Amino acid sequence: MRGDHQTLALLLFSAFVAVTLGITTWVSRNRQGSAEEFYAGGRLFSPVENGFAIAGDYMSAASFLGISGLIALFGYDGMLYSVGFLVAWLVVLLLVAELVRNCGRFTLADVVAARMAERPVRTAVGTSSVTVSVLYLVAQMVGAGSLVALLLGGTSDTARSWTVVGVGALMVIYVSLGGMRATTWIQIVKAVLLMAGAVTLTVLVLVRFHGDVNALLVSAAERSGHGRDFLSPGLRYGGNWTARLDFVSLGLALVLGTAGLPHILSRFYTVPTARAARRSVIWSIGLIGSFYLMSVVLGFGAAAIVGSADVRASNASGNTAVPLLALDLGGGEGSTGGTVLFAVVAAIAFATILAVVAGITLASSASVAHDLYASFRRPGAKQRSEVGVARVAAAGIGVVAIALGLLAQNLNVAFLVGLAFAVAASANLPALLYSLFWRDFTTRGAVWAVYGGLIPAVLLVLLSPVVSGSPTSLFPGVDLALFPLENPGLVSIPAGFLAGWIGTVTSPEAPDPAKHAETEVRSLTGAGAA
């Protein structure tokens, strides 16, 4: 029985890998190797295509398996995540997407550096972008390793390690050969698969309860063992004040972090105009919103059909809730339907991880080549093709991510994702918003905003109970936990904004009104947009 799952899941997954490799070779068949082509896919995607690709980039395995699992275990408190992940898109739509598309060329640093002394600002924003990407990347690699162990039953460490290495190698191939065009098509294929899987399972859950959502919720509450409390907040974050503050901190990081994620921002450059960027965000909000609504149904469905106790018995953090639900919906252990559905869900989860990993690798290789390499290059040195540098950078980031992914195999995935969002919200977002909307913003302000958010965020995590001082932390033996919260957002996000403000008002250099005029005119009209 177990063998059937594995064979079928592996077959489906190999099919996905074959299709995506096919896309990569087909797409790179007659590329010219220009920066426009490599970073932005020639800027010729349609809003619908880009909307699906954004949704594919955003919905990681953490959303597919993690949120439904949290809901299956903790009920309502799991739903808080999905709300935060969705509302974040309003920040992107209203304040960021169109303006960034109009002002920038390939990366976030383009937008911020346009008004400032180029070199220090590019270095700062490039550094924080790479930090965010690597954190996010390690989270996905660790997730890939544990998924294999969970879904294919391969509990041995060798299987895990080989998965991490394999995922890393594949992503380097996708990115360095196919660039943005191949990555975008992989995201689109993955988003379609993911939505199809979610719709199928949701329909099956609703059919099981004859379309009666009320009956679904009542039966979820009954089988969870918590009764009515299961349907209201507090099971996970309702403890002491530290836990509550921690959740507010996480909520803040989720809602403000999305607009600072480099791999999301770089997606806006793949469409020709700001209007197209807006329309792609609208598509992705529709897709992401309906996906999270379905994941709520799947989470409560898993609690009602599988039962919270069985979910917890299979995996303590609930990551297997959806596969178990699929097995049951298909007809249960041993049936053909169950085997097929289980294998399909497992294959979709793999595809999801692979696609997200490719998207982040591309964005961080762009940060390395376009921002860091460009500002550290010695003037007068022999100029190398930027795309060549980006390809090498993709391979280098792949190696770093594989190494970190192997080292960090026992780290909690949700924590790494939360940290990536917190760093993005504290370091990238203040610099971005200030440079788009504040006339008096200066170079010093930009540099301080980035480091003033990045350094506190990383330091507070090192001093938090995640790293030391509690039984579940990385180093349970030592106690350096001076900061009580697991997520630094509550402190580090205001710190980033404050540092940017202080840097600007203490700056000896006067703000340049002409450059501000240029940024403002370009951002709102699209004049001179790449």
Partner 1 sequence: MEKEAGPDGAAMRLDDPWYEAPGGGRGEPDGAVALADRGRIRSGERQGPSAAEIYLEVQSSPAFREVRRRYRRFVVPAAAAFLLWYLAYVVAATTAHDLMARPVAGALNVAMLAGLGQFLTTFLLTWAYARHARLHRDRAALELRWETQEMTRGAGR
Positions in 20-39 near partner 1 (CB under 8 A) = 34-36
In angstroms, what is the minimal distance from the CB of 273 to partner 1?
5
**Amino acid making up residue 518:** E
Calpha distance 384→386 (Å, rounded): 6
Angle at 245 between CA 244 and CA 248, to 5 degrees: 95
| Region of residue 128 (phi > 0: left; psi between -120 and 50: alpha; otherwise: beta) | alpha
CA distance 135 to 141: 10
Our finding on whether 393 is near partner 1 (CB under 8 A) is: no
Distances in whole angstroms, Cα of residue 229 to Cα of each of 77, 220, 223: 10, 11, 12
- Whether residue 28 contacts residue 360, with contact meaning beta carbons closer than 8 Å, is answered with no
221 part of the interface to partner 1, by CB under 8 A:
yes
Contact 180, 41 (CB under 8 A): yes
Does the protein bind partner 1 through residue 334 (CB under 8 A)? no
Nearer to partner 1, 478 or 527 (CB): 527
Q: Is 514 in the site for partner 1 (CB under 8 A)?
A: yes
CB 59 within 8 A of CB 194: yes
N-term to C-term CA, the chain: 55
Stretch that binds partner 1, among 177-185, 273-281, 442-450, 471-479 (CB under 8 A): 273-281
432 near partner 1 (CB under 8 A)? no
Closer CB to partner 1, 103 or 130, in the complex: 103
Confirm or reject binding of residue 223 to partner 1 (CB under 8 A).
no
Nearer to partner 1 among residue 30 and residue 383 (C-beta): 383
Minimum CB separation of residue 314 from partner 1 in Å reads 26
Among 80, 150, 170, 198, binds partner 1 (CB under 8 A): 80
Is 273 a binding residue for partner 1 by CB under 8 A? The answer is yes
- CB closer to partner 1 out of 68 and 339: 68
CB of 30 to partner 1, least distance (A): 18
Closest contact distance (angstroms) between CB of 528 and partner 1 is 4
Contact 392, 123 (CB under 8 A): no
529 binds partner 1 (CB under 8 A): yes
- CB closer to partner 1, 120 vs 234: 234
440 binds partner 1 (CB under 8 A): no
Closest approach, Cβ 447 to partner 1, in A, equals 16
CB 62 within 8 A of CB 416: no
Distance CA 9, CA 5 (A): 6
Q: Does 316 bind partner 1 (CB under 8 A)?
A: no
Please tell me whether residue 112 binds partner 1 under the rule CB under 8 A.
no
| Helices 179-208 and 274-305, packing angle to 10 deg | 40
Q: Does 96 bind partner 1 (CB under 8 A)?
A: no
Six-digit token string for 414:
């949700």
- Check residue 438 for interaction with partner 1 (CB under 8 A): no
| Residue 279: C-alpha distances to residues 46, 403, 523 (Å) | 9, 38, 17
Query: Quick one: three-class SS letters along 318-379?
Result: CCCHHHHHHHHHCCCCCCHHHHHHHHHHHHHHHHHHHHHHHHHHHHHHHHHHHHHHHHHCCC
Cα 259–267–45 angle (5° rounding)?
145
Q: Name which position in 171, 217, 356, 389 contacts partner 1 (CB under 8 A).
A: 217
Decide: is 386 part of the binding site for partner 1 (CB under 8 A). Answer: yes
Here's the x/- map for partner 1, 454-483, by CB under 8 A: it reads as: ------------------------------
Instruction: Please report, for residues 74, 319, 322, 387, 412, the alpha-carbon distance to residue 206 in angstroms, rounded to integers and kept in the order given.
Output: 21, 21, 15, 49, 32
Cβ-contact 310, 324 below 8 angstroms: yes
- Binding residue for partner 1, selected from 19, 83, 411, 502, defined by CB under 8 A: 83
Taking the least distance from each CB to partner 1, the nearer of 34 and 317 is 34
Q: Residues 13, 64, 89, 268: which binds partner 1 (CB under 8 A)?
A: 89
Please count the CA atoms within 13 angstroms of the CA of 518 that sit on its side-chain side.
15
CA dihedral 169, 175, 181, 184 (to 10 degrees): 60
Output the smallest distance, CB 87 to partner 1, in A. Answer: 5
CB 411, min distance to partner 1, A: 26
**Near partner 1 by CB under 8 A, which window of 20-28, 318-326, 378-386, 454-462?**
378-386
Q: Which is nearer to partner 1, 77 or 328 (CB)?
A: 77
65, 113, 351, 368: which one binds partner 1 (CB under 8 A): 113
| Smallest gap from residue 115 Cβ to partner 1 (A) | 8
* Binders of partner 1 in range 229-248 (CB under 8 A): 229, 231-234, 237-238, 244, 247-248
Residue 513 near partner 1 by CB under 8 A: yes
Residues listed for the chain: 530
CB-based contacts of 426: which residues, under 8 Å, 6+ apart?
453, 454, 456, 457, 488, 489, 492, 493, 495, 496
Nearer to partner 1, 125 or 148 (CB): 125
Q: How far is the CB of 183 from partner 1 (least distance, A)?
A: 20
